[in-house]
Amino acid sequence: MLKFILRVFVVAVISFAVAYQIVNRGLGYLVEPMVEDLAVRTMRGQVYALHKDLDPVAPADRATFLLQQVLPHYGLELRLLADAQVQPTENEFRQIDTAGFLMRDDFETVVMPLPGEPRQWLEVKLPGDDPMDKALTWGAWIVLSLLLTATLLLLWALPVWRDMDALRNAALRMGQGDLGIRVRLSRIAGIRHIGETFNQMASRISALIENQRSMTNAVSHELRTPLARLSFELDLLAREEAAPKRGLIIQDMHADIEELQGMVAELLVYARLERPAEESVKLETVDTLDWLKEALALVAFQAEARNVQCHIQEGYPDHIDLHPRYMSRALLNLVQNAVRYADGHVHVSVTGCPEGGFQLIVDDDGPGIPAAERENIFEPFIRLDDSRDRGTGGAGLGLAIVKRVAASHNGSIEACASPLGGARFVLRWPAGTKAH
């Protein structure tokens, strides 16, 4: 807003300066010849009378004659000047040849040559404008300048008004549900940065709404299965013939409730990562080995249950820069995903990137991920083929959370084939910079 106000102020000042120059030069060009002609014709008679009185007088006696015989009866200020005090220009010499005298000080001073040696000049000072005339003159100049300034401002403001109207119409259409609306402003538009900000906001809102719509559809679909099982299990409990299996049914119900709780927890983490708070994304330097061991300890029970061995590969740096909470969640999700599908081995490594920063690599020896699905698996609730689908467990949000963690670190995540024969996930992020 301050930039816009400053821009308006600068435009107004420049417009007034341009308007003043236009009025000054324009009126001077149009009026000055007429004023000069009128002044010359007005003074011609007085100059003739003064020549008639002073020309017969010798140059040495003119000062006394002027003081005693002329000034007492003359209403204007008269003064004799030496030739060195006048020094006419070429234009003034041409004026003398034409009119017989020259005019200076905006036609308020008349200088006429007198005959004889040494050469003398008579200076006649005309009375200046009275205060009322000056006020009227300045008032006319100011009014004309302000009118021209307003015209120039209007010429500048019309495109701004047009752009503002385009922004208003775009905002109205967006409020009516047209999320694809964008504004196109000229590169020289005064509010182009506002239009760019609006387009960025519109793109962000459109993406958020589309994401929320997809999430709502996916969540409702995913919740339907455990809720249907719970409903079926409650019906079984109400039947007398299910009494011998009541303990097993209750155990299944607890498992379904745990699945629902896990899904809700994942959804909360996913939503929180949509736009992390400013203070929550500052990178910290942590010990690499301690950070890796802490994550593997959390997944040790799951790995042992599936008879999978997790290995930390050598070659990691002593310290790395990351957000401990979010990046630990990403590491845990990647390792849990690898353990879920691995046949027996999971390798975890951290190395430096050639272009700078760090990369976290998680390999497994499971069935791998089809090349056509390697981009889609980072979307929420995406199902793959039977070899690596959701039947092995999970809420379907783990890799989506990893993608958002990578984005919060200004990094990236990709899936590819692993040297172990399964899937490889590579998470890269820059070092020593503030995430967003």
Range of the domain at 40: 2-128
Are 250 and 301 within one domain? no
Q: Are residues 335 and 267 in the same domain?
A: no
Question: pLDDT tens digits for 53-69?
Answer: 888 989 888 888 888 88
User: Residue for token digits 């090349």?
Assistant: 371
* 113: β partners: 121
- Whether residue 78 contacts residue 123, with contact meaning beta carbons closer than 8 Å, is answered with yes
Q: Are residues 283 and 267 in the same domain?
A: no
What are the beta bridge partners of residue 156?
none
Q: What residue has token string 């879920």?
A: 340
Question: What is the spatial distance between Cα 222 and Cα 264, in angstroms, rounded to a whole number?
Answer: 11
Same domain for 334 and 292:
yes
Output the average pLDDT for the chain. 79
Q: Do 293 and 416 sit in the same domain of this protein?
A: yes
Position 154 in a domain: no
Q: What is the pLDDT of residues 21-63, one digit of tens each?
A: 666 666 556 666 776 777 788 888 888 888 888 889 898 888 8
pTM score: 0.51
When pLDDT is averaged across residues 336-355 and rounded to a whole number, the result is 90
Q: How many of the other CB atoms lie within 10 Å of CB of 28?
A: 11
Q: Is 393 left (phi over 0), alpha (psi -120 to 50) or beta?
A: left
Last residue of a domain, one of 272, 305, 338: 272
How does DSSP assign 390-436, residue by residue? Answer: GGGS--S-HHHHHHHHHHHTT-EEEEEE-TTSSEEEEEEE-SSS---
Distance CA 68, CA 57 (A): 13
pLDDT digits (tens, 9 = 90+) for 242-281: 677 778 888 888 877 877 777 777 777 777 776 554 444 6
Q: For position 281, what pLDDT does the model report?
A: 63
Same domain, 397 and 335: yes
Question: Where a domain ends, among 240, 272, 304?
Answer: 272
- No. of H helices and E strands in the chain? 11, 11
- 135 within domain boundaries: no
- Choosing from 128, 146, 162, the residue where a domain stops is 128
Same domain membership, residue 383 and residue 352: yes
Number of domains in the chain: 3
Tell me: do 298 and 419 sit in the same domain. yes
Q: Identify which of 100, 105, 46 has the alpha carbon closest to the alpha carbon of residue 78.
A: 46
In a domain, 320, yes or no: yes
Q: pLDDT-derived band of residue 238, with 50, 70 and 90 as boundaries?
A: confident
Residues 26 and 123 reside in one and the same domain: yes
Whole-angstrom distance between the N-terminal and C-terminal Cα of the chain?
25
